[in-house]
Structure 1
Amino acid sequence: MIKDTTQWYASWFDTSYYHILYEDRDYAEAHQFMDNLTQYLNLPENGKILDLACGKGRHSIYLSSLGYDVTGVDLSVNSIAYAKQHENEKLHFEVHDMCRPFNDQFDAVFNLFTSFGYFDRTEDNLNTIKAIRDDLNESGFGVIDFMNSDYVIENLVPEDVKTVGNIDFHQKRYVEDGYIVKDISFTDKGEDFQYQERVKAKTLADFEALFEEAGVYLLDVFGDYKLRKFHKATSERLIMIFK
């Protein structure tokens, strides 16, 4: 059964298989990144953070434990339903399209773990930057944590199989029309599934052009979760701080 890949992220991210495939994500590394980032930004105590495309809320939950007032939003109804079990006075989750402003003011808006560049409509990249801008208070910071496309393309593994439990996920990776594409196929309980991930291979220069058009200012660029200097050829991440 081939799933409809129109707005692929809306269907793929809403399946249980997405979370099964990526269940081994490094929570310790994510926590260290949040520690480093919030310290670097010197956010106010009890500061308000918007976590855009929060998934099941792993970053939001940890940020809340640090004392911040956190709102996590995502397009995936299933992910938000799951995240809501963790809600408390200072942690809230809502279904929301990040291309549009959330219509509140935050000390920081985080878009983490390559949750950008999925859009079918090119203008939605700019719309998202503008939405982040509009949701920041006067002293607020925007943060986009993206892959370093140059590094990813240079080190692309064309094909592999990842086995999780009793499911063999066959993964094929390639570059097509400026997108880094991953085809994922697997069989579960006698049923065949195929999904595709497509992320625009945006570079620092691409983001700089978007920031200029949106009227925001790039303050700093880091290349990994320890906030070390960005190097185009060797950094795994492209972490941009702007306001």
Structure 2
Amino acid sequence: MTISAFGEAYSSFYDLIYADKDYEGECELIEAAFDRFSALRVKRVLDLGCGTGNHAWRLACRGYQVIGVDLSEPMLKIARQKKDSFHLPPGTTPPLFIRGDVRRLNLRVKFEAVLALFAVLGYQPENEDVLAFLQTVEKHLEPGGLFLADFWYGPAVETIKPEVREKVVAFSQGRLIRQARPRLHPEKNQCLVHYHLLMEREDGSIAAEFEENHLMRYFFKEEIEPLLELSGLKFLHLSAFGDLARPAGPDTWNVLLVAKK
């Protein structure tokens, strides 16, 4: 069965699939960007497309007040269940997780920083989706507030080309096999990724099998700058994701965008 992105089945395996992702290192990167680019002291953070809360909880542990928003209720359920897995500093508020469409959100609260991490911006496939998303960002930022997002970088995507990939993750009951089959649509700056997931028990029998389609948008600097400007945001910086000093180029698939209101 093929379902839309981040359904209940995929969500239940999400943290297992990305157990090797360096969320702590990414939070270090976020704070480095705050230090370098923000004239404001960042206290309140809006995490758009927060998923299972892996950034939100870690940022809360660093003393930030975090609200996470996601459209997937199964992902949010997992995020809320993590309250016993993280030890917050005294006086720190746990993240608040809210279900909502990031293109139509209005919390009536302002933040010093808005985040869209792990290709959340790329899940806005059409220009009208991107503009609606960026208008949500602008609406929720304090004047001078920062917007940080990572996305697939067009020059790298069209140079390296997406390819079939398989990831195997072992766990106590067996192993999870995820195959990704991408289909590039350069005329739209989009890539449709078909995921096939198979969970095998230790004896080789199949415990679960399902599929999802994820439609991803990739961006070029020449298009993201005017989209930001149309939304009331100013482009500040573009670099390789993970290294603020490394310029974005045809070998940097994932890049970090920094903008401000």
TM-score range, shorter chain: 0.7 to 0.9
Tell me the CA shift for residue 125 of structure 1.
1.0
CA contact (8 A) 1:54 1:74 kept: yes
Tell me the CA shift for residue 13 of structure 1.
8.2
How far apart are the structure 1 equivalents of 2:169 and 2:31? 30
- Please name the residue that 1:174 is paired with: 183
Tell me the CA shift for residue 226 of structure 1.
2.5
How far apart are the structure 2 equivalents of 1:9 and 1:40? 34
TM-score scaled by length of structure 2:
0.80
Q: Percent identity?
A: 22
In structure 2, relative to structure 1, the CA distance for the partners of 1:209 and 1:168 (3 Å cut) is same
Gaps of 5+ in 1: none
Tell me the CA shift for residue 190 of structure 1.
5.6
* Structure 1 residue 187 corresponds to structure 2 residue 198: yes
How far apart are the structure 2 equivalents of 1:158 and 1:31? 29
- Please name the residue that 1:15 is paired with: 11
* Structure 1 residue 95 corresponds to structure 2 residue 95: no
Three-state SS of the structure 1 residue aligned to 2:2 is coil
* Map 1:1-243 → 2, pairs under 5 A: 2-4=1-3, 8-11=4-7, 15-42=11-38, 47-86=43-82, 89-100=93-104, 101-119=106-124, 122-165=127-170, 166-176=175-185, 177-188=188-199, 189=206, 192-242=209-259, 243=261
In structure 2, relative to structure 1, the CA distance for the partners of 1:46 and 1:167 (3 Å cut) is closer
Matched AA of 1:168? I
CA-atom RMSD in angstroms: 2.5
- What whole-Å deviation, never above 9, does each CA across 1:75-98 have from its counterpart, x for those lacking one? 111221222235562521111211
Gaps of 5+ in 2: 84-91, 200-205
- What whole-Å deviation, never above 9, does each CA across 1:6-31 have from its counterpart, x for those lacking one? xx225378632343333321234323
In structure 2, relative to structure 1, the CA distance for the partners of 1:133 and 1:42 (3 Å cut) is closer
TM-score scaled by length of structure 1:
0.86
CA contact (8 A) 1:56 1:82 kept: yes
How far apart are the structure 2 equivalents of 1:205 and 1:19? 34
